[in-house]
Amino acid sequence: SSLFAIPYLPRYASTYSLPALHVASAIFILAMQAVVLASSPLAFLIFWELMSIAAYFLVIADREPASIKAGLIYLVMAHAGFSCILAGFLVLAHGNPLMDFTLLAQSITNLSPAMLTTAFFLFLIGFGSKAGLMPLHQWLPLAHPQAPSNSSALMSGVMLKVAVYGFLRVTLDVFPHIDTNWAIVVIVISLLSAMLGVLMAAIETDVKRVLAWSSIENLGLIFFMIGIGFVFKNLGLPSIPFFVAALLHSLNHAIFKSGLFLAAGAIISERHTRDIDEMGGLANSWPLFSLAFLGLVFGAAALPPFGTFYGEWLTFQHLATTLSSVPLGIAFLLILSLSILALVSGLAIFTFVKTFADIFLGRSRTESNSKPKPLPQSMVLIILSTTILSLIIGVFVSPIASVLAHIFSPFNHAIQLYAPLSLTTETIQPLFVVSIFILIAFVGYETHQSLLRKRRIKITETWDCGQPINAHMEYTATGFAAPIRFFFRSILMSQKHMLTERITPQNPWILRRKLEWDTTSRLEEHLYTPLGNLVLIIAAKIKRLQNGIIQFYILLILITLVLILGFAI
Amino acid sequence: MISVLSSVIQTVLVILAAPLTVGLIRKIKARLQNRQGASVFQPYWALLSLWRKQMTITKYSSWVFHAVPFVVFATSTILALCIPALGTGSWTAQQGNLFLLATALAVGSMFLVLGGMDVASTFGGMGASREMTLAALIEPAVIITFTTLGTLANTWNFDGILHAASQTPWLTSHPFFLLTILSFICVLLAENARYPVDNPATHLELTMVHEAMILEYSGPYLAILEAASAIKLTVLGLLLMNLIFPFFLTITSPLGALASLAGFSIKLLLAAALIAGIETVFVKMRFYRMQEYMTVAYFLGLAGLILSIAF
């Protein structure tokens, strides 16, 4: 991603203050690495905060009003999350944040269940808000698209994974035991996030927001895999496939989402808009780039032979195989999860087909656009390399999965390079899948060439029913997603306003019509606005303390001191 | 070796028989509507004449347009390879994991959609949007039906499933399997763009899904796409019949092979008759009522799955 910045950022030298951006990026990357390396809660928290602050400066980098608003929302959410994590650690460690993770794990065995439950949910809120889980997801589709594309790639690709890491680290290393009820809460929240994320991604037309919503969906899937893993662990069933699937999916998501954000950046810098409705026809000008993008789309839609497929396959297969060996109640939960996952994966395909088709296929929907200039080689190569990396994970998924499984049970997993993937009782041979695709490409290319040689291809206009058609008659992304908006209208609650205006005031029949969409989630209205008002009201009440009498302030300090002493003793 | 040979023979047989299925459906439908109907072999001639023609391709299309027919044909062929038509014991059918085949179906519709979007025409976009919606919404029903089959057979490829079914026909041993069959019929009709989901016979923009996407294709490419959809229809139709009547599925002895060939012809005829019957009795549903259809398909499958676990 940093490599991508070299050809990419100079195009925006006037929008961003480049030195500041570089500093913020460097601190951001450093802090993310430090969080993962931290061995004590204190270091973890410090670098976590550093990461959040650096990300804030990336979000507001272009100093647009929209970015500053998004940055503010992000900052509030990040700090709410941070204080939850801090509180979680303090609850676990009896207020002593200086011990390291192993000591912490030993010391909490004598905590009461109520304390553990509180701590777990504090962590869930903290890490969940960073990972964009429902209902604390609102900042993500606002903040990620506002950052420069290479920073969005880092934020979606890596920062969300840091949240996954934090959650796994705490739940696996520190907590002695994860209650099944807690895990079920995680499952419900994550399935809701996946479903809402993919639905919003399906109807969204801003390319970077599509990617941001899709991140919510994927993080939902990852947290689902973790949650169901804990349920299986408690039932005494093999849980490793789920944890491996979660890690595999995190890895894949980091790669394909970074690639997609970078590609989106390249497209936006050419088209000067983020609206998919105004794009189209790029595949002819940038064939190699579109091929790379199609590969990433396969990754994002979890289709073979790319790596993402195997993570989802492990989950589906393991859920399905264990159905008949669990109690009926749990089986019902598994079936419901399986159906929701199926719908989510179907809609994910929908989302990315829409994105690819409306950006690359057909002809450009705004006719003023001249033929796009060829992209710099280095940009294409970097995006192609993410596609290839995603494919390599798909081909060598079995050794990677064995290594990941090794983390959870350090025995019994020989690492073989070409073995079929077999963590459950079912196996799948990645090489078989890949060879099918190579065969298709080869046969297709040969037949195409032979048809060309026989001069049996004639290039014409699109069939137009007898009157000329133009690019405005093409289906846009908004039109493409219309059936989804209709079928899920009770969930999405999007609002359509038909604005009519008389062209001549006397004649009521000749009207100018305009459609307006409002697809913002109702959740914002019903949850965030009252919450914000509540905070404002409380703040106004507290403000009365600030009355300017110095004796009163001294009294407050005294009361605080007495209270602290009282707690300490 | 025998198993590899068996899968090659079965696949070639299905590919060759596929246009016949379409011809049979059209013939039976015509007879039910008191028409004479064209010969059952008409689709072969249609494909042949298409193959010989020159193609016209719109100037706005890109390389994706050229890739689509091959990918779609390949996904149909993969289905033909991995779902046994004649009998069990073929090598490729043992490799084809159920969920992998579900993605093969998805890749097929995805590329059809890309082909429809790559022509800069409203028709293509309309069909593409509808097809992608249907493909996304039918996914839960597909996964649930496939899971039921896998759970009943305790194996996750179609070779094992048909083998298990041929030991004890599930319709008699588990009567609720009928629910899964009904759900599977819904999936089959939706995946193959038949009534009540789509009208395969018209180019009218109110009804069309599949036809709209392939409107710009002509000549050899159109022949490939038509053949691909015929193969998919044949494979899924035969799978349905093999699940209802899991007989004559051993092809190890010469006599068994002959019997299964006869069974194949009868099952093909029955599948064609069933689809033609459905198309004669039911009308096309409004597209914006499709979620009711999908919900029915899903809940039938869900009931089948829960009952198959509970008992």
**Residue A32: HSE in the Cβ half-sphere, 13 Å Cα cutoff:** 21
Instruction: Write the CA distances from A390 to A246, A255, A277, A441, B80, integer angstroms.
Output: 16, 6, 28, 18, 28
- Which range is least confidently modeled, A80-84, A453-457, A516-520? A516-520
Q: Which residues of chain B lie closer than 8 angstroms to A467, CB-CB? A: none
Closest CB to A458: pick one of B55, B103, B110.
Answer: B55
Which residues 9-68 of chain A have a CB within 8 Å of chain B? none
CB count in 10 Å sphere of residue B207: 17
Q: Distance from A125 to chain B by nearest Cα, in Å? A: 30
Which residues 222-281 of chain A have a CB within 8 Å of chain B? 280-281
Q: Residue A224: which pLDDT band, with cuts at 50, 70 and 90?
A: very high
Q: CB contacts < 8 Å between A and B, how many?
A: 225
Q: Distance from A320 to chain B by nearest Cα, in Å? A: 6
Q: Distance from A143 to chain B by nearest Cα, in Å? A: 29
| Whole-number pLDDT of residue A6 | 47
Put simply, whether A448 touches B (Cβ < 8 Å) is: yes
The predicted model gives A85-99 an average pLDDT of 74
Residue contact A283–B118, C-beta within 8 A: yes
Residue contact B118–A462, C-beta within 8 A: no
ipTM above 0.85, yes or no: yes
Instruction: Write the CA distances from A166 to A130, A216, A551, B226, integer angstroms.
Output: 10, 17, 45, 52
Within B23-107, strands assigned E span 55-58
The predicted model gives A74-89 an average pLDDT of 83
CB count in 10 Å sphere of residue B195: 21
Q: Which residues of chain A lie closer than 8 angstroms to B4, CB-CB? A: none
Put simply, whether B298 touches A (Cβ < 8 Å) is: yes
Residue A1 has pLDDT above 50, yes or no: no
Q: Residue B206: which pLDDT band, with cuts at 50, 70 and 90?
A: low
Among all chains, which residue has been given the structure tokens 């009308």? B283
| Whole-number pLDDT of residue A11 | 45
The predicted model gives A19-41 an average pLDDT of 72
The predicted model gives A87-96 an average pLDDT of 75
Residue B232 has pLDDT above 90, yes or no: yes
Which residues 123-142 of chain B have a CB within 8 Å of chain A? 124-126, 128-130, 132-133, 135-140, 142
Non-local (6+) Cβ contacts of A486 within 8 A are: B288
Residue contact B144–A342, C-beta within 8 A: yes
Residue A424 has pLDDT above 70, yes or no: no
Quick one: which of B3, B12, B46, B2 has its CA closest to B264? B12
Q: Which residues of chain A lie closer than 8 angstroms to B117, CB-CB? A: 357-358, 361-362, 475
Q: Residue A13: which pLDDT band, with cuts at 50, 70 and 90?
A: very low
Q: Distance from B28 to chain A by nearest Cα, in Å? A: 33
Put simply, whether B60 touches A (Cβ < 8 Å) is: yes
Among all chains, which residue has been given the structure tokens 């059809």? B112
The model's pLDDT over A127-166, given as tens digits with 9 standing for 90+, comes to: 888 888 877 777 777 777 777 777 777 777 778 888 888 8
Within chain B, strands assigned E span 55-58
| Whole-number pLDDT of residue A3 | 47
A135 compared with B36, residue with greater pLDDT: B36
Tell me the whole-structure pTM to 2 decimals: 0.88
Put simply, whether A492 touches B (Cβ < 8 Å) is: no
Quick one: which of B78, B59, B146, B286 has its CA closest to A304? B78
| Whole-number pLDDT of residue B28 | 93
| Whole-number pLDDT of residue B56 | 86
The model's pLDDT over A164-197, given as tens digits with 9 standing for 90+, comes to: 888 887 887 777 777 888 888 899 999 988 998 8
Which residues 404-423 of chain A have a CB within 8 Å of chain B? none
Put simply, whether A481 touches B (Cβ < 8 Å) is: yes
Q: Over pLDDT 90: what percentage of chain A? A: 7
| Whole-number pLDDT of residue A2 | 44
Residue contact A349–B135, C-beta within 8 A: yes
A94 compared with A264, residue with greater pLDDT: A264
CB count in 10 Å sphere of residue A472: 10
Residue A487 has pLDDT above 70, yes or no: yes
Which residues 309-328 of chain A have a CB within 8 Å of chain B? 309, 313, 316-317, 320-321, 323-324, 328
Write down the H helix ranges in A110-239.
113-131, 139-146, 149-154, 160-168, 180-203, 207-235
Residue A427 has pLDDT above 80, yes or no: no
> What is the rounded CA–CA span in Å between residue A361 and residue B103?
23
Which of A462, A472, A491 to mutate: most B Cβ within 10 Å?
Answer: A462
Residue A294 has pLDDT above 50, yes or no: yes
Which of B113, B155, B159 to mutate: most A Cβ within 10 Å?
Answer: B113
Residue in A with minimal Cα distance to B101? A304
Residue B306 has pLDDT above 70, yes or no: yes
Q: Which residues of chain A lie closer than 8 angstroms to B53, CB-CB? A: 456
Residue contact A456–B136, C-beta within 8 A: no
| Whole-number pLDDT of residue A416 | 47
Put simply, whether B103 touches A (Cβ < 8 Å) is: yes
A138 compared with B143, residue with greater pLDDT: B143
Most confidently modeled of A1-15, A274-288, A547-561, B75-89?
Answer: B75-89
| Whole-number pLDDT of residue A79 | 83
Residue contact A346–B140, C-beta within 8 A: yes
Q: What is the mean pLDDT of chain A?
A: 78
